Amino acid sequence: METIVFIERDTLRAELRPPAFEHRWLDYGATRPEEVLERLTEATVAVVNKLPLRADVLAELPRLRLIAVAATGTDNIDLEFCRGRGIEVSNVTGYARHTLPEHVLMLALALRRNLFGYREDVRAGLWQTARQFCLHTREIHDLHGSTFGVVGHGALGRGVERLARAFGARVLVAERKGERAAREGRTPFAEVLSRSDVLSLHVPLNPETRGLVGRDEIALMKPTAVLINCARGGAVDEAALAEALREGRIAGAGVDVLSNEPPARGNPLLSLDLPNLIVTPHVAWASREAQQALADQLIENIEDFVLNSLESGV
């Protein structure tokens, strides 16, 4: 009988149907890193979201056969160790293909139209004392006719492209950074940075993408451009971005991810109080509909693994 242990149940607010095989299921709402080993000791299937499972812990879990990640990213798992030990790793894909692009477009619209700047002005009483019917204290730009740069063209990047085009934006899909020649349908990375009015990141976090956008890359961007990161916090040099925002070298930024989450030790972006910086707490993926799609696929992944194992006699 399989023992399934979900050590981060509170990260998923959706119904999980029971898998269609004999099993024992244990839930822990939240788990501290030092509790992981004890809670997974009897597990044959571990369900995790963001908690790291590194070689030192995995080596102490001889019963473990499957790590079912309740997310798309697997950078928290020691995949090399799992391959060597024969531990299967599954993840959930495509569940956020509608909700995350909507979040990106929400951030882009709010920044291009100076939504929070105007909200501040109204709260400060500036409209009430204006000499005309409208208060025009800040620039407003349309998405229609703008250039929307997409870095990372998987399901999420393609979803953002689809919505941006629906608004009438020109979309540039970036070639990988450092490539000498751009593939058909792609634009060189540096050119995308220099031409985009909105630059949106949709890359996984790996050695090639860590620090993908830093001080040099921000320097290539237009002073009227906005940067949106709903990918991984580590893809952006946050200190460089904070500096650029303070100095007005780009027009704004919207981020849903930070390099350390939760940012208990602070973050250079959280120290800023600017109407052209929007920080949301890693919720671009988290619509009710998307969470249920994630939950359903998570159970399907576990069922596929176990039922295939039974068929093969493993």
Active site members:
232, 261, 282
Q: Tokens 């020691």: give the residue.
A: 78
Phi, psi for 155 (deg, rounded to 5): -60, -40
Cα end-to-end distance, the chain, whole Å: 13
Of 73, 107, 94, 213, nearest to 157 by C-alpha is 94
161's tokens: 């492209």
CA dihedral 64, 66, 70, 73 (to 10 degrees): 100
Contact of 108 with 144, CB cutoff 8 Å = no
Distance, CA of 155 to CA of 160 (rounded, Å):
9
Between CA 301 and CA 90 the distance in angstroms is 7
> Does 262 sit behind a cis peptide bond, omega within 30 degrees of 0 on the bond before it?
yes
Q: Which of 26, 133, 72, 91 is nearest to 286 (CA)?
A: 72
Nearest to 122 by CA among 105, 108, 134: 134
């009988």: which residue's tokens? Answer: 1
Pair type for strands 45-48 and 88-90: unpaired
Cα separation, 140 vs 221, whole angstroms = 19
Task: Give, in degrees to the nearest 5, the angle at Cα 204 between 81 and 32.
Answer: 60
Determine the angle formed by the axes of helices 99-112 and 288-312, rounding to 10 degrees. 150
